[in-house]
Structure 1
């Protein structure tokens, strides 16, 4: 059995890019695939957008693409490693440390265009595991950088998600697992990304 640290970034990555996932409506997904970037409108630049390196956490969040119309299309977005590193370096936790004052928390949030949250990783049945998966929320200047500078390619993986789900439904977990993206540990040079933990 592999001993996985409680907090570890795991992703599909190579020497140039790291893959994150998002789920969107048909309108946002279609324009993003056509242009190779998110287009506003229909994408909203003024809202925080959460990117997730974990495929199975994305499946949990979007219900394999069946949860609602706004999450019916699953997109794999390959972004530059430099962009990912910038996001980690300019982040703060999604929730304040209990020892922080309201004023200190407000200053930290104002200075940090990225939020970090750790939530339980999921198995093929979307049940929580003991280790956690990172979620990265970008807003303000970070959204502009994400859309304009970091994205290398966008791929529609909705069909893959639904094929894996069909194998899970029929109980063929071996086939389902064989189709999962090959996520492996990602080493980041930003120590503060370990500082935040999401809800159980």
Structure 2
């Protein structure tokens, strides 16, 4: 597995407790995001290193850079249709491109002049963004907010084949770590190393209402 991990409880001491943060594992080349699929789609993506086959480019796909938010969403890979958990090594430039284009899924009166202006932005954008409560390993809500990004139209075509450096199937790792959660053994729980991601575009930083700098 090409993801760097660390004990959850050690990371917990370093993570911000509140605010809007893009928690992710990243470097100068890539940002790791997570998705879960039924075997037909997930296995194809892992084996071929791109999204194809039963994967549809005609519907929006959502990516999540935060591992524990993904685990909350897919029930640690136990939900039907989300059994195959993928770690997608996304080109950093692609991730930044998504952020720069992102339009909120819900109306924000401090960003858009009117609901009509927002609706027009949604219609014309290929990228959606949504802030949700982050979650702990047990699925409990946190004060800190976690981001998820929706991709569609021309951008989903690029995402499926051009924007990805590597696709890993981390389903077994997820199952192993889930056992520690089920047994209340968080001292042994490993999670991917994550820290707040800061977009290079200062206007995007402001638009996303990110906490920090």
Please give the root-mean-square deviation of Cα atoms over the aligned residues, in Å: 1.8
1:105 offset after TM fit, Å? 2.3
The C-alpha deviation readout for 1:162-196, integer Å capped at 9, x for no partner, is 111101111111101xx110011211124346646
Q: Select 2:88's aligned residue among 65, 77, 82.
A: 77
Please state if 1:184 is matched with 2:182.
no
Q: Select 1:139's aligned residue among 149, 152, 159.
A: 152
Q: Is the 8 A contact 1:95 1:196 kept in 2?
A: no
User: Structure 2 CA distance, aligned partners of 1:112 and 1:63?
Assistant: 30
| Range that drifts further, 15-24 or 5-14 | 5-14
Once the two structures are superposed, the pairs formed by residues 66-145 of structure 1 within 5 Å of their partners are 66-68=78-80, 70-98=81-109, 100-145=113-158
SS at match of 2:74: helix
SS at match of 2:68: helix
Count of residues paired in the alignment: 193
1:38 offset after TM fit, Å? 0.3
Q: Is the 8 A contact 1:118 1:196 kept in 2?
A: no
1:45 aligned residue: 57
1:148 offset after TM fit, Å? 2.2
TM, length-normalised to structure 1? 0.90
Once the two structures are superposed, the pairs formed by residues 158-169 of structure 1 within 5 Å of their partners are 158-169=171-182
1:107 offset after TM fit, Å? 1.5
User: Structure 1 CA distance, aligned partners of 2:206 and 2:71?
Assistant: 23
User: Structure 2 CA distance, aligned partners of 1:78 and 1:135?
Assistant: 16
Which stretches of structure 1, 4 residues or more, deviate above 4 A after TM superposition?
193-197
2:166 aligned residue: 153
Unaligned runs of 5+ in 2: 1-12
1:103 offset after TM fit, Å? 2.9
TM, length-normalised to structure 2? 0.85
Change (3 A) 1:168 1:80: same
SS at match of 1:89: helix
Q: Select 1:174's aligned residue among 181, 187, 201.
A: 187
